[in-house]
Chains A and B, each alone.
Chain A
Amino acid sequence: MNRIQSKLREDKKLLSIYFTAGHPNLNDTVTIIESLQASGIDMIEIGLPFSDPLADGPTIQKSSTAALDNGMHSKLLFQQLKDIRKTVSIPLLIMGYFNPILQFGVEDFCKQCQEIGIDGLILPDLPLAEYQRDYEQLFKKYGLINVFLITPQTSEARIRQIDAASEGFIYMVSSASTTGAKKGFGQVQKDYFQRIAGMKLSNPQIVGFGISNKETFSQATSSAKGAIIGSAFIKHLESEGVEAIPDFVRSIR
C-alpha cells in the first residue's frame, strides 16, 4: 500500500503542509521536510516552482519566483531529495505545474519520483481528461497517486467521475479562488463542506486554499479528513525562518 493510502486510514484529522522547494534558501528543502515531520505533520506537498503559476495567489507567486531566482530546477530537487527516505517516513507529494514535468520527460520524472520515494503528484493544470488521454498509464506504472481537485463549482456528476478516477484523496479547494488566505470561511464554505461530506465519496477529502490558522483548520476538518496549509506557512517561513517551524505547527493544533 502506498504511504498516502496508509496515512489516510489513521484515525485522526490530517495536517498537510505545502512549501516551495528552493525557498527561502536554495538548500532548505531537506531541513524543512525533516523539521515538519519532527513537528508532527502528517503529509507534505513539495512545491516544484514554475514561472507562471496561474492558480496561485501573490504569496506562492513570490516564493516560486524567489526559488527560481535562487536556482531551483527539477534535477536539483531530485538531487536534494535522493536520500530523503533514510530520515523521513511520512507521505511526500510533489505539487507543481505540468510544463516542467513535460520538459523533464514525463516518464523520467515519474521514474525519479519512484526511486526517491515520492508517493503522489498534484498538478493543477493536468485535468482529468488530459491525464486519462495521455498520462495515466505512466503514473500508475511508477506507483504514483495523482490527486485531483474539486471546487465549490464542480458539478456532482464530475465529482463522482473524479472520485472514481482517484486512488488517494480528493483535494477540495475551499472557494472559487487562487491560493492564499481569505477572511476565514463563511456560510457558503460551510454548506459546501457539508454537501461534499453528504456525498459519501469513496476517497477522503483534504481541504486546501484559505487555511491559515487553528480556526480555519478546525472548520475545514469538521467534515473533511484533513487540510493543507500553503501560503500561511510560506509567510511564516519568510518572517520567522526555518528554525521556527515547530512554533507554526503548534499554533495550528
Chain B
Amino acid sequence: MKYQADENGYYGNFGGAFIPEMLYPNTEELRLNYLNIMEDPSFEKEFHALLKDYVGRPTPLYFAERLSKKYNTRIYLKREDLCHTGAHKVNNTIGQILMAKRLGKDRIIAETGAGQHGVATATVCALMGIECIVYMGEIDIARQAPNVARMKMLGAEVRPALSGSRTLKDATNEAIRDWINNPVNTHYIIGSVVGPHPYPDMVARFQSVVSKEIKSQLLEKEGRENPDYVVACVGGGSNAAGAYYHYLDEEEVGIIAVEAAGKGVHSGESAATSALGKIGIIHGSKTLLMQTEDGQITEPYSISAGLDYPGVGPMHAHLYESGRGEFISITDDEAMQAGRMVAELEGIIPAIETSHAFAIFNHRNFKPEDLVVINLSGRGDKDLQTYIDYFKL
C-alpha cells in the first residue's frame, strides 16, 4: 500500500489537509464517513447499478490495430470517452452525489475549468433532483460557451469566479469560499484527485473502476491482467489515478503520466507541473505546485483547458518523487497532431487532454511485444472549435 494515502491523507511527503478551521467540520464529517459509506454493500450496489445502466459501463477496452501497426507495439484503448457526458469525470460525480445523499446534503457545489466536470456534476444533480451551483472562471465561461449552455439546460446555476486570474484555480477558490459560508447543508463535489484529505483518496477510489475493468478485460483478451504500461494524461490527475489505481503496487506495470507542456516546458506558457513545480500548498493539499519564488501561485497555460491546473494531485506528486511514475511533457502542437492522427487511424476524435497521452509514441519507444494501455479519458466533441481553428478545417 505504499502508493496509497495513509490515514492522514499523505502520499509520502504529499497530501494532508491544509484547510482553514471553517472547513474542518465539513471535511471531518467526510473523512470519518467516506470509507464506511463506500464499503456499505447497499452503496456499492447503487453505485455500480448507475455506472452500468446510466453511465454505460464497463467501457470497452479496444485493441487499436492501425495505431499498433504504426508504432510497432500493441496498443489498447480504454474507452472512457464512451461514458455518458463524454468523459471519465462522471464516474466520480455519480459516486459523490450518492455520498452527498447519504450524508444528508441537499445542495451541491462544484468548480469547473473547461466545463466537463461541471457538466458531469450538473448531470447527476439533475438525476437526483438536487440543487447545483457550479463555479467557473469568468474567462472560461467566455471560451467554453457550449458547456455553460449544457449546465444551464441541466438546471444548474453557473456562477462566474471574478477573482484572481478568473480561471480554474479561482473557480476552486470560490467553491471553497461558498463551502465556508454554507457549512451544514452543502457538499462540495471536487472534480479531481486534488484538495484536502479525504478528497484525493475518495476521488481516486471512485475512478478506480477504470483499472479494475482494464484488469478483467485484459485477462479475457490477453490471458493476463497486467499490461506493460498504462499511459494517461495528467492535469489534476483523476483519469490517471483511476487508470493506475489497481496497478500502483504491481511494480512490473510501468506507469506513464503525460503533462501539458503548452508552448514548451520553459516557454513561460506551460502546465508541466512535475517539471516546473516545487512543493507547496494549493486548495488544501501539499503537493507539487507552480509558483513564484515568493510562494504565489502562478497561472499555467495549455491549449487544453482540462490540463491547465497549477498543481497536481498528491498521489501523482508522490509517483513523480518516488520514481514510480515516468513523467513526460507534451506541447500543444504535438498533442494536436496526435489527436488528428488518432482520428484518422482509428476513427476516434479524442479530447485535447487525451491527445496529449497519444503523443507519447513520438517520445518513447515500446517493444513490439509490449502491451500498452492508453486511457482514452474523453471525447473531442467539446474541442471541435479548437481543432477547427488549429487545422483550419
Tell me which of B25, B180, B184 has the highest count of chain A C-beta atoms within 10 A of its own C-beta: B180
Binary contact track A99-111/B, C-beta < 8 Å → 1, others 0? 1111110000000
Whether A153 touches B183, Cβ cut-off 8 Å, given contacts A68-B296, A98-B281, A176-B22, is yes
- Contact B19 A125, beta carbon cutoff 8 Å: yes
What A residues does B17 contact at CB under 8 A? Answer: 127, 129-130
Nearest-neighbor residue (CB-CB) of A152 within chain B = B183
Q: Which of B48-56, B141-149, B287-295, B319-327 forms contacts with chain A?
A: B287-295
CB of A154 to closest CB in B, whole Å: 7
Q: Residue A65 at the B interface, CB < 8 A?
A: yes
List chain A residues, Cβ under 8 A from B72. Answer: none
- Is residue B33 within 8 Å, beta carbon to beta carbon, of the partner chain? no
> Which residues of chain B are within 8 angstroms of A155 by Cβ–Cβ distance?
25
Contacts of A54 in B (CB 8 A): 20, 173, 176-177, 180, 283
Q: Which of B179-211 contact A (CB under 8 A)?
A: 180-184
For the complex, what is the distance from the CA of A50 to the CA of B280, rounded to whole Å? Answer: 13
Q: Given A124-B20, A125-B19, decide whether A99 and B297 contact each other with a Cβ distance below 8 A.
A: yes
* Contacting residues, chain B, for A133 (C-beta < 8 A): 8, 16
Q: Which of A83-111 contact B (CB under 8 A)?
A: 97-104
Q: Does A149 contact B (CB under 8 A)?
A: yes
B-contact bits for A128-157, CB 8 A (1 contact / 0 none): 011001000000000000001111011100
Alpha-carbon separation in the docked complex, A8 to B324 (Å):
52
Are B21 and A148 within 8 A (Cβ)?
Answer: yes
Contacts of A127 in B (CB 8 A): 17-21, 24
The reply to whether A129 and B297 contact each other, CB–CB distance below 8 Å, is no
Interface membership of chain A positions 10-48, coded 1 if the CB is closer than 8 angstroms to chain B and 0 otherwise: 000000000000000000000000000000000000000
CA distance A127 to B197 in the complex (A): 13
Contacts A177-B181, A178-B181 given; indicate if A125 touches B294 (C-beta within 8 A).
Answer: no
For residue B164, CB closer than 8 A to chain A, the reply is yes
Contact (A154, B21) CB under 8 Å given A65-B164, A98-B281, A99-B280: yes
Within the assembled complex, what's the spacing in Å between the Cα atoms of A177 and B180?
5
**Residues of chain A lying within 8 A (CB to CB) of residue B282:** 52, 99
Q: How many residues of B contact A (CB 8 A)?
A: 36
Tell me, yes or no, whether B74 is within 8 Å of chain A by CB. no
Whether B279 is near chain A, meaning CB under 8 Å from some CB there, is yes
Within 8 A of B (CB), among A50-73: 50-52, 54-55, 57-58, 61, 65, 68, 73
Question: Would you call B295 and A173 a contact (CB within 8 A)?
Answer: no
Contact call B180/A158, Cβ cutoff below 8 A: no
Instruction: Give the chain A neighbours of B177 by CB distance below 8 A.
Output: 54-55, 57, 178
Nearest CB of chain B from residue A183's CB, rounded to whole Å: 14
Q: Are A125 and B281 in contact (CB-based, < 8 A)? A: yes
Instruction: Return the contact of A158 from the options B18, B24, B164 (Cβ within 8 A).
Output: B24
Cβ of B296 and Cβ of A100 under 8 Å apart?
A: yes
Inter-chain contact B297/A51, CB cutoff 8 Å: yes
Contacts of A55 in B (CB 8 A): 20, 22, 177, 180
Q: Which residue of B is nearest A171, CB measured?
A: B21
With a 10 A CB-CB cut-off, give which of B284, B291, B294 has the most chain A CB atoms: B294
Quick check: B284 and A125 within 8 Å, CB to CB? yes
Query: A74 in the interface, Cβ–Cβ < 8 Å?
Result: yes
With the chains together, A241 CA to B180 CA distance in Å?
A: 31
A126 interfacial contact with B, CB 8 Å: yes
**17 A–B contacts, CB within 8 A, in A order:** A52-B282, A55-B177, A65-B163, A68-B296, A74-B294, A99-B281, A99-B282, A99-B291, A99-B297, A102-B295, A125-B281, A127-B19, A129-B8, A133-B8, A151-B24, A153-B25, A154-B21
Q: A127-B18, A178-B22, A178-B181 are in contact. List 4 more A-B contacts (CB 8 A).
A: A99-B291, A103-B291, A103-B294, A151-B183
By a beta-carbon cutoff of 8 Å, the part of chain B in contact with chain A is 8, 16-22, 24-25, 163-164, 169-170, 173, 176-177, 180-184, 278-284, 289, 291, 293-297
- Give the B-binding residues of A (Cβ under 8 A): 50-52, 54-55, 57-58, 61, 65, 68, 73-75, 97-104, 124-127, 129-130, 133, 148-151, 153-155, 158, 173, 176-178
6 A-B pairs closest in CB distance: A103-B295, A100-B295, A149-B21, A124-B20, A73-B294, A51-B296
